[in-house]
Structure 1
Amino acid sequence: MGLNGGSHSRRAVMELSPAALTGLLAGALQAAGYGLYVRHALRAETRPNPASWLMFAYGTALVVVLEAAAGASWPMLLLPAVCAASSIFVAALAFLRGATLRDLDRADFLAFVLDVGCTLAYLAVWAARAGGLVRPDLFELAAVLLLAGAAGTSITSFIPILRGTYRAPDQERPWPWIVWTAAYGALALATLMASAPSALLIYPGINLLLHALVAALSVRRNVGALAAGHVAG
């Protein structure tokens, strides 16, 4: 019976479309990136920014719901689902280690307030659509506005972590961000391969750029620190 179960599982994977397999690859890369990040955090090799990770946690959970409503298939929902669950864990880890929102400087606190405002705005559009206050012929536009709002919250949620990585060379390690950048690239490719609604490209496209930016800042800062140590030695 176990052999039959394994055979059925392999057959199910083989029957998946190239787009679905690429979506599964994106989810697997996302999980691998979180494995690296959590390991760095537990070893105190990186310091998760509490504001950004809190915003990632609730923002990505809403993205899963929005993309499902917009017609995303389950392989394309895997990455944001992994991100939502893992972000909750990283945010909890940051707060358990003593981080608080009171530690934020004014710019990071304003980014947090702006992110909450953007989230409430696209929740209002979502509620209006669900309540029948949006005409059926405007549903597609409403979906685009919702996903654009989600992208807006992605940008605001990255402000604290971008500022922190730029200022502190040892705050982030590059490899998780490089892996996550590849994951969002795979998700964007899966979306294109599946001929999904173009609005579904907003989420992976914006996040690919944002994760690549953190990776670039982290690589630059870490290479700079290594070069300085080599010169000093």
Structure 2
Amino acid sequence: MRFDVITLFPELFAPFLVSGITRRAYATGLVDVRLWNPRDYAEGNYRRVDDRPFGGGPGMVMMAPPLERCLAAIQADRAQATTPVPVVLFAPIGVPLNHAAVAQWSGSAGAILLCGRYEGIDQRFIDRYVTAQISLGDFVLSGGEIAALALLDAVARLQPGVLNDEGSHQLDSFNPALDGLLDCPHYTRPEEWQGEVVPAPLLSGHHAQIERWRRDQSLRTTAQHRPELIATARAAGRLSPADEALLRNLPGKL
């Protein structure tokens, strides 16, 4: 898959693409990331890409013409692609990014990711060219780059061969393999640290007992921190009688 990123700060992506375990996805081309700076498509000696907003007010607005020329260059470069891809803007009004959306993106042909800056982008460009909008949550960032990096990272780690253990992401929080629940706590050596010991079931070597402990802890953690996920799993029929029995015995049972 290929992601073309429109950004005024391509240098923010350089260390990300060569660091950490997900670098395998970018180095092998499983996730092809190409960076495009709209300033390269701006006119004049100063390569201006922003201007004051009509109607007054603080800040500056990214101009439509340089973005349009940049987008045209990307589309020309992708001309041989058989599958058209969406133009995605990271914005507060976008659809929240979650595991289900990431899973869909991980099996797609990619996208053109538009990273806004300043007070935003000329709405006329958005209306004409943007086909999808994504939000990381109810807060505002200085630009769309961090959101783009989050999407790229989440997609990259789902690609075959990227993680050391192929089944690792199957046990992530929100994954269908966990019925959409939160992951359980994890422990490693030493067995005792600061007077705290690793839970006995994890040292038992009894696989069924370990799996039951992990499931119980996943249910407890989810019930405490994200009870709405319990409700969703219950409505989908994903909770077993043993799951329900544990939940009934929790303080403030669900």
TM-score grouping bracket, smaller chain normalisation: under 0.3
TM-score by length of 2: 0.25
Choose 1 or 2 for highest CA Rg: 2
Higher helix proportion: 1
TM-score, structure 1 length as denominator?
Answer: 0.26
Structure with greater strand percent: 2
